[in-house]
Amino acid sequence: MLGRGAQGSLVLALALAPLPPAAAAGPLESIRHFVVIYEENHSFDNLYGGWEGVRGLADASPERARQVDQHAVPYKCLAQADVNLRAPPLPVTCVDTTTAIPLQSAFANAPFTIDAYIAAGDRTCPPPGERFGQGVPNGAGLAGGCTRDIVHRFYQEQYQLDGGRQDRYVTGSDAVGLAMGHYETRRLPIYRYLHARGHPRYAIADETFQGAFGGSFLNHQWLVAAATPVFAGAVQDGGPEDLHSIVDANGFPAAYPLYRPEPAGTVVRDAPLTVRCGPGQPRSGRCGDYAINTIQPFVQPFEPGTPDFKRLPPLTNPTIADRLNAARIDWAWYSGGWSNASGAVGAPGWTNGTGGRCADPRTMAGATYPNCPDALFQFPHQPLSYFAAFDPRTPDGAANRAQHLRDEVEFIALVKRSLRACRLKSVSFVKPVGEENEHPGYASEPRGSNHLVALLRAISRSACPKDTMVIVTYDEFGGQWDHLPPPGQGNEQGPHDEWGPGTRVPTLILAPALRAPFVVDTASHDTTAIAATLEHRFGLEPLGPRDAAVLDYSSVFDASPARASPLRAGER
């Protein structure tokens, strides 16, 4: 179905207009511009668990906060792998002899505040492009208060959720106890901005879950396509080019400090594709050639040196981009560092001059001109570059890419030019570059939050807020615990399937006509609610069963007012 009743045909009839009329009556009808800012790798409790009025840390039951081992025995202490959280150098306050190797720790088996141990100004961030598996010792890196990264992958997350008990995040993690860390919400730049005098009206959607289990690659695919991609012609011979996962009896694909494959001696493999069908298939979920974990696109930009067999063949399943193009609705995906990475010489955002070489000193090692990606450019964060419709080797793909895949600097320029009239496209997706996207391991949370505030402040000072909805959300949980089970886990109700949704993620909505300066939307959503919102606003056909069933974000207009606590002295 193309639209809702007769109004769907009305959209097509007026398709050449700068902006089609609403496909459905209601609050969305007044929205003429949508901005989706897609941040990285934090669970709701990890960032927003201390925000007033929400279902946060104070609502977590002891059973869901207490982590258990793979035999369901509660730990006494939290093991830590991050170099700045180990004991020593931190004082030993907890001893646990229930683990295979007795551990000494500074942390009891409970959530803890990261800021109390790694402050925003601590020099714990790696130089761009460098990796430190267990984190950077404080004083040896750059300022920003970075932690080490945490595993966030397809099979691991399903194990961590433990059927809605939320109690195996530590056992199923390579970073063990760091999974239970959270930030002091009131210290975050975004919290301070939204509690300052004259802040824009906003909603927190405190029941939004990541669209699919696992990490960034898959959840970016669910943002644009509401589907898990298929690797066409995947090798299935068990050889070196076979990219299928192998899991143990618990459906787990790896060995970690607190997890050992069962039965003992089981060979496991944590790879980009689901398990092959037949022997070795997990007790539930799909098998076959589905791409579930990080994999590179087949065409540029992709990580330098990636062989052909490790790159996903161009996809042909429908995306929200296809739907918007068919309805002639103007849109763009704005990505930080895109001009350099895609080889768009001379385009806005290009910083490599005209000398025929990658002149920017921040260029990723191994890059070949004209594809000169920033050292922290993330290729799996560019979901549309995986699709044949944006393949630059074809005339249509090259034109589609040139028109719609743009650099974030262009979005910022459009906002700055919108002082008298909003110049934004009908739909804008904004993806900050790695240094500014909040991803643990290589990015600073406060720096990324500051960049988010800068984007929101620029929009709020333009002519756009009167008819613009801004959706700020995070692609996935980053391996971090959250206490609220997603639909499909245990007895939790809501649209779900074998792909997800997964852990709850922070979500903000800025929009006109909210009932109060601050509201809390308690309706259940997942990442596909973004596609559903656009589909309902513009009369577009759903991409699949999930976005057809999920609630869209018009629910924020019915959300209850909440009192925003003023900042205390010293928090501004």
**Rounded alpha-carbon distances, angstroms, from residue 94 to 6, 37, 76:** 66, 41, 8
3-class secondary structure per residue, 311-370: EECCECCCCHHHHHHHCCCCEEEEECCHHHHHCCCCCCCCCCCCCCCCCCCCECCCCECC
Structure tokens, 356: 């025929």
Residue 472 in this model has a pLDDT that exceeds 60:
yes
In 201-285, alpha helices (H): 216-225
Q: Residue 64 has what pLDDT?
A: 87
Q: Residue 280 has what pLDDT?
A: 55
Whose CA is closest to 99, among 89, 91, 109? Answer: 109
Structure tokens, 17: 């207009």
User: Where do the DSSP E strands lie in 79-175?
Assistant: 94-96, 103-105, 112-113
- Taking only the tens place, the pLDDT of each residue in 313-348 is 999 999 999 999 999 999 999 999 999 999 999 999
- Taking only the tens place, the pLDDT of each residue in 511-546 is 999 999 999 999 999 999 999 999 999 999 999 999
Q: Residue range 427-442: average pLDDT?
A: 96
Q: Residue 23 has what pLDDT?
A: 57
Residue 74 in this model has a pLDDT that exceeds 80:
yes
The DSSP secondary structure of 283-309, one letter per residue, reads SSS--SSBB-S--EESSSS--TT--GG
Structure tokens, 498: 């074998």
Residue 95 in this model has a pLDDT that exceeds 60:
yes
Confidence of residue 387 (pLDDT cuts 50, 70, 90): very high
pTM for this one? 0.94
Q: Residue 572 has what pLDDT?
A: 52
Specify the amino acid at residue 442.
Answer: Y
The DSSP secondary structure of 487-508, one letter per residue, reads TTSTT--SS-BTTB--SB--EE
To which residue do tokens 């990080």 refer?
A: 294
Confidence of residue 41 (pLDDT cuts 50, 70, 90): very high
Contact call for residues 337 and 407 (beta carbons, < 8 A):
yes
Q: Residue range 389-418: average pLDDT?
A: 97
Half-sphere CA count of 435, side-chain side, radius 13 A: 14
Q: How many CB atoms lie within 10 A of CB 93?
A: 12
Give buried/exposed letters for 543-569 (b at 16+ CB in 10 A, else e): bbebbbebbbbbbbbebeebebeeeee
- Taking only the tens place, the pLDDT of each residue in 154-211 is 999 999 999 999 999 999 999 999 999 999 999 999 999 999 999 999 999 999 999 9
Contact call for residues 374 and 469 (beta carbons, < 8 A):
no
Structure tokens, 260: 């050992």
Domains and CATH numbers, the chain: 6-52+186-226+296-561 (3.40.720.10), 230-290 (no CATH)
Residue 279 in this model has a pLDDT that exceeds 70:
no
Q: How far apart are CA 113 and CA 122, in angstroms?
A: 15
Contact call for residues 500 and 521 (beta carbons, < 8 A):
no
- Taking only the tens place, the pLDDT of each residue in 281-304 is 655 568 999 999 999 999 999 999
Q: Residue range 404-420: average pLDDT?
A: 97
